[in-house]
Amino acid sequence: MDLNTLWFILITILFIGFFILEGFDFGVGILLPFLGRDDRERRLIINSIGPVWDANEVWIITAGGAIFAAFPNWYATMFSGFYLALVLLLVALIGRGVAFEFRSKDKHPRWRAIWDWTLCIGSAVPALLWGVAVGNLLRGVPIDAEMNFVGGFFDLLNPYTLLGGLASLSMFILHGAIFLNLKTSADVAKRALAATKKVGPVATIVVFLFVIAGYFMTDAFTRLGINPGIVPLAAGAALLAAGWFIHHERIGWAFGMTALTIALSTITIFMSLYPRVIVSSLNPDWSLTIYNASSSPYTLQVMTIVALIFVPIVLAYQGWTYWVFRQRLGGKSQLEY
Please state the domain count of the chain.
Answer: 1
pLDDT score of 231 more than 90? no
Instruction: Note the pTM of the prediction, 2 decimals.
Output: 0.92
Residue 12 is predicted with a pLDDT of 95
> 8-17, 225-234, 278-287: which range is least confident on average?
225-234
From the list 83, 160, 164, the residue with the least C-alpha distance to 129 is 164
For 281, list phi and psi in degrees, rounded to 5: -80, -10
At 227, the pLDDT band (50, 70, 90 cuts) reads low
Domain that holds residue 234: 3-334
What percent of the chain has a predicted confidence (pLDDT) above 90? 72
Rounded-to-integer distance, Cα 330 and Cα 43, Å: 10
At 321, the pLDDT band (50, 70, 90 cuts) reads confident
Residue 225 is predicted with a pLDDT of 61
How many H helices and E strands in the chain? 12, 2
Mean pLDDT of 46-53: 90
At 286, the pLDDT band (50, 70, 90 cuts) reads very high
Helix-helix angle 251-273:230-247, to 10 degrees: 160
Mean pLDDT of 111-128: 95
Rounded-to-integer distance, Cα 21 and Cα 204, Å: 20
